[in-house]
Structure 1
């Protein structure tokens, strides 16, 4: 009886088969009689798809025994993408393909965005905002193949367009942070690679203000991933950039994350505080001096040229910028790190 039950289970149509540890996703798609309705879209797809497009596997008639069409989507690394055969046609049909309900065409269109970015950067500049909006929509797609392909597209766009996408980043950012904390490992890994690409290729002076609101998101997982990105971006500022952005703002951000719910947030905060301490002590001449406010008094002594006060210690700086409890927590973290280096 168990064999009959297993055989019945295997014949249920519409099941989705995925191999999360491979570079391919074997997915099923209904082979309905209305396939002719998508003929025009498929014809458009063929005009801008290269040899590494998704392939269809199944029986000789193109369908599996269960009455579904087996679609095998290959996740193509950036270095293995081929150039487009017809750039103009692809540009004309790109937005409609990104908005298609045919998920195979959607994956193919996302890969074409990657090809256009890599091989024809200037050609897609005028529509980049609309393209990013469509990619953000694809990140919410329930199909894992679409979601992962969209994440790979984000990584390529960040590496190619850098700061040119900063004004269109908002719809992508929260989704990237959310996907990087999901349970599906292969989606999570693709999202992590996209975030690393973002923090590597977008200048921190423009990225940090975008990340900062995410540090207060209601979702603790989003906060944790945002903290990691924030901590990874600050060192790229350099001493001059940290002064420009405001080391006082940065230490307040790190101190707030130090008491966050998830350990990833706290660990990112500790790494950021140690970085800020090193920069403050190594480049004190670049950092703002900590001067205690004194009430103005009338002096009978002759006026003298006031000397520039010596920069305060790291301890006095923390105490001047933070509440007593926060300063104590920060100094505990940085003193432990210092003791570890000495030992």
Structure 2
């Protein structure tokens, strides 16, 4: 079941990410320049922030001789992250950094969580719940630099800890579904990648029950992202795993998404149904009535299976999808 916090977050549609970046208590004003979606010269995208003195008399910059400072926050891919120089000291200040109101320090702390996950995951074990709690807070941060770095941190945690984070997954999952459904492209792409990593590193038997409630969410984008996660996760069960989980249950889930609003959801449902049809062919269900005079057990065909487990219209829709794909001509023949 989803936590109350996750449900509350899910009912809030993503708000505008524009905020007033200048605090009345700040010594320096911090105008924020969002990154573009393009790579320049093949380099990774960066957030560039100019730190200058606050205005004097409302519209002029003071001439105290202070120079503008440019802060660059670089999105470093996991395989490019280097090890920590001082593991013990970094661990001591990690939670304070994750709770910092200075967004640059917060990004540094998030990248250190990634380094711990890659090189020293055992050091995080005792404080992992606290780390995830602060990570969820960072995912909600209105600054895109913080949000994207937190998303990348989530992906590295999934890879490092796998099934062991399942009890803490709900608040992370809802935020990633929300971020993958928003319009800011570079945040959306990072969240989609993190969701792919989630389906790779967390067992489908544990993950599928977490995903199912989002298939009925009122936000069609969230339904579509959840449907895509289900479609990627089910094949990892294998034929016997699909049978054990309940091929009838999975077929019902897929059929419910065939008529969904967004094409991504419908395509994910079609892909899942083809996977289920293939698995069913390898391990069909026995027919309820057997021929006593025959040595061979009678099995239900895929068509009979769908008709016996789905409403009539849903069964027809499923059979149209699976039959059309099976009968499609092979190009080049």
Equivalent runs, 1:264-343 vs 2, <5 Å = 264-281=264-281, 283-284=282-283, 287-291=284-288, 309-340=297-328
Cα gap change, 1:182 to 1:84, in 2 (>3 Å): same
Partner of 1:79 in structure 2? 79
CA-CA distance at 1:129 after TM superposition: 1.5
Cα gap change, 1:259 to 1:189, in 2 (>3 Å): same
Gaps of 5+ in 1: 1-12, 33-59, 294-303
Cα gap change, 1:29 to 1:246, in 2 (>3 Å): farther
Q: Answer with 1 or 2: which has the greater Rg.
A: 1
The counterpart of 2:34, out of the listed 12, 18, 32, is 18
Q: Distance in 1 between matches of 2:52 and 2:285?
A: 65
Partner of 1:176 in structure 2? 176
Cα gap change, 1:92 to 1:327, in 2 (>3 Å): same
CA-CA distance at 1:288 after TM superposition: 3.2
TM-score (norm 2): 0.81
Provide the secondary structure at the position in 2 that maps to 1:169. Answer: helix
1:94-119 alpha-carbon deviations (Å, 9 max, x no partner): 11211111101100000000011111
CA-CA distance at 1:62 after TM superposition: 6.5
Is the contact made by 2:307 and 2:315 (CA closer than 8 Å) also made in structure 1?
A: yes
Q: Distance in 1 between matches of 2:65 and 2:174?
A: 43
TM-score (norm 1): 0.78
Equivalent runs, 1:1-343 vs 2, <5 Å = 14-20=30-36, 21-22=38-39, 23=44, 24-28=46-50, 63-64=67-68, 69-281=69-281, 283-284=282-283, 287-291=284-288, 309-340=297-328
Cα gap change, 1:31 to 1:116, in 2 (>3 Å): farther
Q: Distance in 1 between matches of 2:114 and 2:255?
A: 39
Cα gap change, 1:29 to 1:213, in 2 (>3 Å): farther
Cα gap change, 1:229 to 1:61, in 2 (>3 Å): farther
Is the contact made by 1:290 and 1:316 (CA closer than 8 Å) also made in structure 2?
A: no
CA-CA distance at 1:76 after TM superposition: 1.1
CA-CA distance at 1:308 after TM superposition: 7.6
Cα gap change, 1:325 to 1:236, in 2 (>3 Å): same
Partner of 2:15 in structure 1? none
Q: Distance in 2 between matches of 1:177 and 1:73?
A: 24
Is the contact made by 1:16 and 1:28 (CA closer than 8 Å) also made in structure 2?
A: yes
Runs of 4+ in 1 over 6 A off after TM superposition: 304-308
Aligned length: 288
